[in-house]
Chain A
């Protein structure tokens, strides 16, 4: 693959940030010495997991569209299984659940690979949403029917439909930006995850007033404002890897950060309702796939459509 030169500089930048983080983390652990400190341990686990995630992204990018579609397809699979594990479905949903995993998910990603915008943008919210209750009703079990159907539909919406809009960015025909759409996925991921990390940092340093104490006690106004402002600045500073002007990159980043924050809040409320702290145990130090993807889920479709409406013919 002919990587655009921006990709090289971006890789250096990301590797640089991770190297600095690793040195800081190891130094903190070394200074803490014998007595184990859970916060520092978790920090180092997270930094290690970041290396793994960045490496996976890099490998997927090398394989281009197919690699990226497969990577996000796998992420959707892991997310869907975490979501449905926490839902009270019944035996009568067996075939509907099988259809969600083995038809809806692969078909959605195949449609993205074929770049069939007209179908992949409605396949789940129209066709899957109609077919799943039909499959369930054929089993003849009406107990808590609406509740069960809503769970499966929303699991698909969150874990498959929304997540699949990240690789769908590859299909956007942006004039003058052909062959470089991978950089836009990188932009989205860096801004979303940067916003998460920066909100965490600002929250730890300055956090006092809680935004939604009943939903997520760790989210504070200080963390939110500091994190969103600095991640917006980070996104603006990355304008050179996008088709946007600096002010447009800033505006996009702001929308991405706000959607990411609110998405994280929604996902926290679901976890709280289901009585769990983490979605799963897939990634050491991060919880499950959904714990890492929660903010991407809400940001990806909005970023995709804003870019599509304003930057494609």
Chain B
């Protein structure tokens, strides 16, 4: 009986995943722009700018099917981890690595959860700003998480990913999307150099991300 339930749940998850990818493609006409690397089956941390709940869906959409299964978005437990539909989508459809936004003593530390996922060999989709950017600035200051991941997994490739326009398609607090075109640009992979400081690594990562912005946008 349990086997049948999980079979049905798996099938449902795959159908929802296909639906989400199709919907994202239809609404945003999204195209991947592999500018600095190719879609390859290496362990990677895709780190991206964050302005909309749909951000990881868009990155997931433009990844080839084979890479999608090995790539897990990092998402907030309180938003994507519940028991309802969002929980099903977060856990079963996107296989998200769910982390606590407010760490507490009795729950595992977010960094430990992420390190465990990296040790399993997964690739991650990670938002180093930590929260959605609703300001007019291009990027919020990076939190330290990206650096800690690089320390934990220095052999992984850290790929900057700029998601353009999705914040206009679906601004915070709105539920009806405007069908504007979006693009997802992948920059050249970077790694933590031996002995590199936290400040230097985060500054490089930030600069690499900003370098992918389309021309003509205010700084």
B174-201 Cβ-contact flags toward A at 8 Å (1 or 0): 1010111100000000000000000000
**A98 and B215: CB pair below 8 A?**
no
**A281 and B31: CB pair below 8 A?**
yes
- Cα distance A288–B216 when bound, in Å? 19
- Cα distance A138–B168 when bound, in Å? 18
- Cα distance A71–B31 when bound, in Å? 23
A123 contacts chain B at the CB level, 8 A cutoff: no
**A81 and B181: CB pair below 8 A?**
yes
- Cα distance A274–B214 when bound, in Å? 11
- Cα distance A89–B176 when bound, in Å? 16
Chain B residue numbers with a CB within 8 Å of A274 are: 216
A209 contacts chain B at the CB level, 8 A cutoff: no
A11 contacts chain B at the CB level, 8 A cutoff: no
Main secondary structure of the interface of B (DSSP, over half): loop
**A81 and B176: CB pair below 8 A?**
no
Report the interface size class on chain A. 10 to 19
- Cα distance A239–B50 when bound, in Å? 57
B165 contacts chain A at the CB level, 8 A cutoff: yes
Chain A residue numbers with a CB within 8 Å of B154 are: none
A66 contacts chain B at the CB level, 8 A cutoff: no
- Cα distance A81–B182 when bound, in Å? 10
**B171 and A275: CB pair below 8 A?**
no
**B180 and A275: CB pair below 8 A?**
no
**B165 and A275: CB pair below 8 A?**
no
Chain B residue numbers with a CB within 8 Å of A97 are: 178, 180
A248 contacts chain B at the CB level, 8 A cutoff: no
B103 contacts chain A at the CB level, 8 A cutoff: no
Chain B residue numbers with a CB within 8 Å of A275 are: 215-216
Chain A residue numbers with a CB within 8 Å of B179 are: 77, 81, 101
A97: nearest residue on chain B (CB-CB)? B178
- Cα distance A144–B168 when bound, in Å? 17
Chain B residue numbers with a CB within 8 Å of A85 are: 165, 180-181
A100: nearest residue on chain B (CB-CB)? B178
- Cα distance A264–B168 when bound, in Å? 28
**B216 and A81: CB pair below 8 A?**
no
CB distance from A149 to the nearest CB of B (A): 16
Chain B residue numbers with a CB within 8 Å of A84 are: 178, 180
Chain A residue numbers with a CB within 8 Å of B181 are: 81-82, 85, 280
Q: How many residues of B contact A (CB 8 A)?
A: 13
**B171 and A91: CB pair below 8 A?**
yes
- B168, B176, B178: which has the most chain A beta carbons within 10 Å? B178
CB distance from B35 to the nearest CB of A (A): 14
- Cα distance A94–B31 when bound, in Å? 23
Other-chain contact of B29, A91, A94, A282 (Cβ < 8 Å): A282
Interface residues of B in 157-179 (CB under 8 A from A): 165, 168, 171, 174, 176, 178-179
- Cα distance A97–B49 when bound, in Å? 24
B112-155 Cβ-contact flags toward A at 8 Å (1 or 0): 00000000000000000000000000000000000000000000
- Cα distance A101–B215 when bound, in Å? 26
**A81 and B171: CB pair below 8 A?**
no
**B180 and A81: CB pair below 8 A?**
yes
- Cα distance A81–B165 when bound, in Å? 12
In the complex where A101-B179, A280-B181 touch, is A81 in contact with B29 (Cβ < 8 A)?
yes
Chain B residue numbers with a CB within 8 Å of A52 are: none
A102: nearest residue on chain B (CB-CB)? B176
Chain B residue numbers with a CB within 8 Å of A98 are: 176, 178
CB distance from A89 to the nearest CB of B (A): 7
A276 contacts chain B at the CB level, 8 A cutoff: yes
B180: nearest residue on chain A (CB-CB)? A85
CB distance from B183 to the nearest CB of A (A): 9
A278-308 Cβ-contact flags toward B at 8 Å (1 or 0): 0011100000000000000000000000000
Interface residues of B in 200-219 (CB under 8 A from A): 215-216
A92: nearest residue on chain B (CB-CB)? B171
B81-118 Cβ-contact flags toward A at 8 Å (1 or 0): 00000000000000000000000000000000000000
Chain A residue numbers with a CB within 8 Å of B171 are: 91, 94
**A101 and B216: CB pair below 8 A?**
no
CB distance from A151 to the nearest CB of B (A): 12
- Cα distance A77–B174 when bound, in Å? 21
Contacts A81-B181, A94-B174 known; list 5 others, CB within 8 Å: A77-B179, A89-B168, A94-B171, A98-B178, A280-B181
A sample of 8 inter-chain contacts (CB < 8 A) reads A81-B29, A81-B179, A91-B171, A94-B174, A97-B178, A101-B178, A274-B216, A280-B181
A residues with a Cβ closer than 8 A to B are 77, 81-82, 84-85, 89, 91, 94, 97-98, 101, 274-276, 280-282
